[in-house]
Amino acid sequence: MTTAASGHGPLYLDACATTPPAAAVLEAMASAAATAWANPSSLHGFGLAAAELLERSRLGIASSLGCDPEALVFTSGGTESIHTALLGAAAPLPSGRLLISAVEHPATLAAAAALERRGWQVAVLPVDRLGRIDLTALESLLEPPTRLVSVIWGQSEVGTVQPIEAIGRRCRQAGVALHVDAVQVVGHRGVAFNRLPIDLLSCAAHKLQGPRGVGALLVRPDLPFVPLIGGGGQEGGRRGGTEAVALVAGFARALELCDARLAAHGGTDPVAALRDGLLRRLLDLPGLRLSGPDPLGGPAASDDRLPHHISLLISDTAGAPLSGRRLVPMLWRQGVAASSGSACSSGGGPAPSPVLQAMGLTQAEAASGLRLSLGPWLQAADLESVPEALMRSRAALAQADGRASSR
Ligand SMILES: Cc1ncc(COP(=O)(O)O)c(C=O)c1O
The 8-class DSSP code of residue 336 comes to E
Q: Which residue from 156, 200, 345 has its CB within 8 A of the most atoms of ligand 1, so it is best to mutate?
A: 156
276 shares a domain with 257: no
- pLDDT 10s digits, 307-331: 999 999 999 988 999 999 999 999 9
What is the rounded radius of gyration, in angstroms, for the C-alpha atoms of the chain? 21
Task: Decide if 2 is inside a domain.
Answer: no
Q: Is the CB of 342 under 6 A from ligand 1?
A: yes
Apex CA 187: angle with CA 270 and CA 239, to 5°? 175
131 lies in a domain?
A: yes
Mean per-residue pLDDT of the chain: 94
Question: Which CATH number do you get for residue 380?
Answer: 3.90.1150.10
CB atoms within 10 A of CB 286: 12
Q: Are residues 109 and 249 in the same domain?
A: yes
Range of weakest confidence among 192-201, 213-222, 314-323 = 314-323
Residue 30, pLDDT > 50, answer yes
Together in a domain, 108 and 229: yes
Active site residue 344: yes
Residue 406 covered by a domain: no
Nearest protein Cα to ligand 1, atom 15: 183
Angle at 199 between CA 196 and CA 202, to 5 degrees: 95
Examine the domain organization and report whether 198 and 163 are in the same domain. yes
What dihedral angle (degrees, nearest 10) is formed by the CA atoms of 339, 312, 369, 270? Answer: 30
Nearest CA to ligand 1 atom 8: 78
Instruction: Say what the pLDDT of residue 8 is.
Output: 67
Report helix angle 45-65 to 245-264, nearest 10.
30
Q: What is the pLDDT of residues 168-177, one digit of tens each?
A: 999 999 999 9
Both 72 and 109 in one domain: the answer is yes
Instruction: Say yes or no: CB of residue 181 within 6 Å of ligand 1.
Output: yes
pLDDT at 407: 55
Which residue's alpha carbon is at the smallest distance from atom 4 of ligand 1? 78
Structural domain includes residue 102: yes
Rounded to the nearest angstrom, the gap between the alpha carbon of residue 274 and the centroid of all alpha carbons in its chain is: 19
C-beta 227 within 6 A of ligand 1: no
Q: Percent of the chain scored above 70 by pLDDT?
A: 94
Q: Which atom of ligand 1 is nearest the CA belonging to 152? A: 1
Q: How far is the CA of 45 from the centre of ligand 1 (A)?
A: 36
78 lines ligand 1 (CB under 6 A): yes
Which residues span the domain enclosing 119? 23-261
Amino acid residing at 341:
G
The residue with greater pLDDT, 311 or 3, is 311
Flag whether 328 is in a domain: yes
Residue 113 belongs to domain with CATH number? 3.40.640.10
CA–centroid distance, 119 to ligand 1, in Å, is 26
Does residue 88 fall inside a structural domain? yes
- In this prediction, residues 290-314 reach a mean pLDDT of 91
Q: How many CB atoms lie within 10 A of CB 228?
A: 22
Q: What is the whole-number distance in angstroms between the Cα of residue 71 and the centre of ligand 1?
A: 20
Is position 105 within any domain? Answer: yes
The residue whose CA has the least distance to atom 5 of ligand 1 is 78
Segment 210-226 mean pLDDT:
97
Q: In this structure, are 153 and 86 located in the same domain?
A: yes
Residues 212 and 294 in one domain: no
Tens-digit pLDDT profile for residues 126-147: 999 999 999 999 999 999 999 9
pLDDT of residue 161 exceeding 60, the answer is yes
- pLDDT tens sequence across 46-74: 999 999 999 999 999 999 999 999 999 99
Most ligand 1 atoms within 8 A of CB, residue of 18, 19, 105, 152 to mutate: 105
CB of 215 shorter than 6 A to ligand 1: yes
Number of domains in the chain: 2
Residue 342's pLDDT band, with cuts at 50, 70 and 90, is very low
Which residue among 79, 162, 309 has the greatest number of ligand 1 atoms within 8 angstroms of its CB, and so is best to mutate? 79
Ligand 1 centroid – CA 43 distance (Å): 35
For residue 298, is it within any domain?
yes
Secondary structure E strands in 87-130: 97-101, 121-125
Tell me if residue 181 falls in helix, strand or coil. strand
Condensed to tens digits (0 to 9), the pLDDT of residues 74-112 reads 999 999 999 999 999 999 999 999 999 999 999 999 999
Q: What pLDDT score was predicted for residue 350?
A: 61
User: What spacing in Å lies between the alpha carbon of 303 and ligand 1's midpoint?
Assistant: 21
User: What are the C-alpha distances in Å from 44 to residues 39, 47, 233, 236, 248?
Assistant: 10, 5, 18, 20, 21
pLDDT of 400: 85
| Å from CA of 183 to ligand 1 middle | 6
| 313 and 193 in a common domain | no
